[in-house]
Amino acid sequence: MRRIIAPSMLSADFGNLDRDTRMIDRSAAQWVHIDVMDGVFVPNISFGFPVMKPIRQATTKTLDVHLMITDPVRYVARFVEAGADYVTFHYEATDDCRACIDAIHRAGARAGISIKPATAAEVLEELLPEVEMVLVMSVEPGFGGQSFIPSSIDKIRTLAEMKRRMGLDTLIEVDGGISAANARELFDAGAEALVAGSAVFHAADPESEIVRMLNA
Ligand code: DX5
Ligand code: ZN
């Protein structure tokens, strides 16, 4: 099983975005997680294309873009143009998940679909063969620094079992409240990509924290 760490730039120092992105680029983390919020789908606004540009310029790592926006189909192609390798949208944010997946694929990126804590893993059953990744939110989307919701572990297990049954190798990513303290449990449940914002950027030594998570 793969073990991928995706530090979330939401917790980076935006006054030193270039420095912080280069630190992740040097680190053992394989991906860079980018949280885009529109103030409608979630009660917060983060950043958009102009902020993605310096991140893309400062790293060659996989850009994992997490869209917390309403009607994501309108913008997915622009995120791919801005350098996204994975574009993940929310199941709850659109009436037409398939159109959104198709738009991401047509634009040349890998597609991910995410569920909020109140959404059951089972809703993804029919869509699982169509996407490269599913993202389980283990906090309410919108803010960094929240506590991990323990029931997320069961969702990871359900999705891992669904994948096995269907013979798929869809990546399972988890996002919210993750650190070296719970990374092992998540990998064991079947998660392969772990997002971490505050645990990485607020650590005394972010690069060591990433290694600790990878070796958890
Ligand atoms: C929250 C974002 C997360 C956030 C995680 O809506 O999707 O990616 O940055 O932050 P931590 O790791 O601090 O919970
Ligand atoms: Zn995220």
Residues with CB under 5 A from ligand 2 (ion): 35, 66, 175
Q: What is the pLDDT of residues 31-62, one digit of tens each?
A: 999 999 999 999 999 999 999 999 999 999 99
How many A from CA of 106 to the centre of ligand 2?
Answer: 23
Cα 73 vs. chain centroid, distance in angstroms?
18
| Cβ contact 198:13 at 8 Å | no
Task: Over range 19-26, report the average pLDDT.
Answer: 98
Q: Which of 63, 174, 198, 201 for mutating ligand 1's site (highest number of atoms within 8 Å of CB)?
A: 198
Average pLDDT for the chain = 98
Angular region, 155: left φ>0, alpha ψ -120 to 50, beta rest: alpha
Active site residue 175: yes
Report which ligand 1 atom has the smallest distance to the Cα of 33: 8
Residue-wise pLDDT for 109-144, tens only, equals: 999 999 999 999 999 999 999 999 999 999 999 999
- Expressed in angstroms, the distance from the first to the final Cα of the chain is 14
Residue nearest to atom 4 of ligand 1 (CA): 144
Distance (Å, whole) CA 83 – CA 69? 18
CA dihedral 147, 152, 157, 160 (to 10 degrees): -90
Percentage of residues in the chain having pLDDT higher than 90:
100
Q: In the beta sheet, which residues pair with residue 41?
A: none
Residue 1, pLDDT above cutoff 90: no
The sheet that has 62-68: what strands, in order across it? 4-7, 193-196, 171-175, 133-137, 110-115, 86-90, 62-68, 31-37
35 is catalytic: yes
With a cut of 90, say whether residue 67 has pLDDT above it: yes
Q: Is the pTM of this model over 0.95?
A: yes
Query: What would the mean pLDDT of 177-204 be, rounded to a whole number?
Result: 98
